[in-house]
Amino acid sequence: MKWEDSGGRKPVGIGIDILSRKRADAFLERHRNRILERLLTVQEKERYLASGRKMSPLLFTKLFAAKEAYFKACGGDWMGIEGFGKIDIAVTRSDAFTADSDIIQPPVPGVSAGAFITHPQYVIAEVVIWQAEGAA
């Protein structure tokens, strides 16, 4: 079997995470201010908390699961919750996202593409990191 996208790029990392919405909601409720400060990048704070908006529990669950999936796809060493604050997630549609980090990188330079599956009880995030053009 040959794994390539339409541009001939190969996957260099695949990650998946499933997170209980109930558990994530309770965690956010207990630790909202502290966890958002540690978990979100500056760009995410601007993107999702602009104008004093309050983050929805569903968005929090998606971001947390996406960060975990990206971390797994990169195969890096655990950096604690602060490491998640170095992974930037951009939700591009209700069921899709991109991920990037200056600190946590895949073994070969790549471009990420992710998807969400939302269920009443769970959020699943999966990410594939595709080999960047010219990377070997």
Instruction: Tell me the pLDDT tens digit for each residue of 62-87.
Output: 999 999 999 999 887 777 778 889 99
Residue 129: enclosing H or E segment and its boundaries?
Answer: strand 122-131
Q: How far apart are CA 9 and CA 3, in angstroms?
A: 8
Asked if the model's pLDDT at residue 111 lies above 90, the reply is no
Task: Tell me which DSSP letter residue 9 carries.
Answer: P
Q: Where are the domains of the chain?
A: 11-131
Predicted pLDDT of residue 53: 82
pLDDT tens by residue, 3-46: 656 567 788 899 999 999 999 999 999 998 888 889 999 999 99
Q: Is 44 helix (H, G, I), strand (E, B) or coil?
A: helix
Query: For residue 2, what pLDDT band results from cuts at 50, 70 and 90?
Result: low
- Candidate CATH numbers 3.40.50.300, 3.40.718.10, 3.30.1360.30, 3.90.470.20; the one for domain 11-131: 3.90.470.20
